[in-house]
Amino acid sequence: MRVPVTDGELQCDVIGSGSPVVFLHGFPLSGLMWAHAAIRLPPGHRAIIPDLRGHGRSTASLETSITQLADDVVTLLDAVAPDQQAVFVGLSMGGMICFDIWRRHRPLVRALVLCDTRSNVDAAEAAQRRLALADAALKEGPSAVVDAMLPNLFAPQLDPQLRAHWRSIMLETPTVGLAATQRALASRPDSTATLSTIACPTLVVAGELDTLTPLDSMRRIHESIPSSRLEVIAGAGHVPPVEQPERFSSVLNTFLNSLP
């Protein structure tokens, strides 16, 4: 289905029925990264899987922000599951969006699953690299961003065919969306102080071999969120739902089944 949002539309897949579970992908991925987890949710759960603005089959805009991406998700939830709380599952950029939803739309949040994400802002050099990649995308096309990021997205032992498959998916990301999202990530708000305010059930998931959001950084997020639980996915890099789908689904479903 396509859902109208400010200045565009989000493409969204909905699977199952029951309590909403909203899956928010990372950059520069798409909702496809959640396919295995979404079709294996426990009975009584409904997967809501958008392509975020600027990604996949959704509208790309010249400028965006984490706030706008969060507002898009809230608009989507209101259209698909009005007046319902949801479990928000966010990887990397998706986790950053979860923080913003918690800050500004707390009544919508039943629980959070934060996978390989960051609460802090980029250091100055890292932010400048993002801005340079945004410019390169506009000049050279998607490969300028995708090939710069690909070596750090997945653990080295990932099947080369699966790695190539995801490279082809990422290369389909609209160039304008790549550039706008890189700028949004470079200027994202600091969510470090938000962590201690999170009072809903929270699962923190970390890929054992992730170099973009290393295990120590995920432990710090876990330790800063009261009563959160931490699960480490062995053999996974930055994208456990793709690299270790069975293990990720097991961890997610155990958490969902534990919710009151």
> Do 49 and 12 meet the contact criterion of CB atoms below 8 Å apart?
yes
Q: Is 224 helix (H, G, I), strand (E, B) or coil?
A: helix
* Closest residue by Cα to residue 162 from 105, 236, 216: 236
What local confidence, expressed as pLDDT, does residue 195 receive?
98
What local confidence, expressed as pLDDT, does residue 29 receive?
98
Length of the chain: 260
In the chain, pLDDT over 90 holds for what percent of residues? 100
Sign of CA dihedral 115, 12, 86, 180: positive
Instruction: Please identify which residue in the block is written with the tokens 């600091």.
Output: 190
Structure token pair of residue 131: 């801005």
| Measured distance CA(145)–CA(186) in Å, rounded | 14
**Where do runs of H (alpha helix) occur along the chain?**
35-39, 66-80, 93-104, 124-140, 143-153, 160-170, 175-186, 215-224, 240-243, 245-258
What local confidence, expressed as pLDDT, does residue 246 receive?
98
Q: What's the pTM value of the predicted model, to 2 decimals?
A: 0.98
Confidence of residue 198 (pLDDT cuts 50, 70, 90): very high
Partners of residue 115 on adjacent β-strands: 91, 205
Query: What ranges do the domains of the chain cover?
Result: 2-121+190-258
> Do 40 and 250 meet the contact criterion of CB atoms below 8 Å apart?
no
8-41 tens-digit pLDDT: 999 999 999 999 999 999 999 999 999 999 999 9
What local confidence, expressed as pLDDT, does residue 196 receive?
98
* Closest residue by Cα to residue 11 from 20, 21, 19, 25: 25
Structure token pair of residue 19: 């309590």
What local confidence, expressed as pLDDT, does residue 183 receive?
98
| Measured distance CA(86)–CA(37) in Å, rounded | 16
Confidence of residue 214 (pLDDT cuts 50, 70, 90): very high
Structure token pair of residue 217: 């950084």
43-55 tens-digit pLDDT: 999 999 999 999 9
* Closest residue by Cα to residue 112 from 190, 50, 197: 197
| Measured distance CA(158)–CA(253) in Å, rounded | 24
Mean pLDDT of 145-170: 96
What local confidence, expressed as pLDDT, does residue 257 receive?
98
Confidence of residue 236 (pLDDT cuts 50, 70, 90): very high
- Of the candidate CATH numbers 3.40.50.1100, 3.40.50.1820, 3.30.1360.120, 3.10.20.30, the domain formed by 2-121+190-258 belongs to 3.40.50.1820
Q: How would you classify the pairing of strands 19-24 and 8-16?
A: unpaired
122-139 tens-digit pLDDT: 999 999 999 999 999 999
Confidence of residue 156 (pLDDT cuts 50, 70, 90): very high
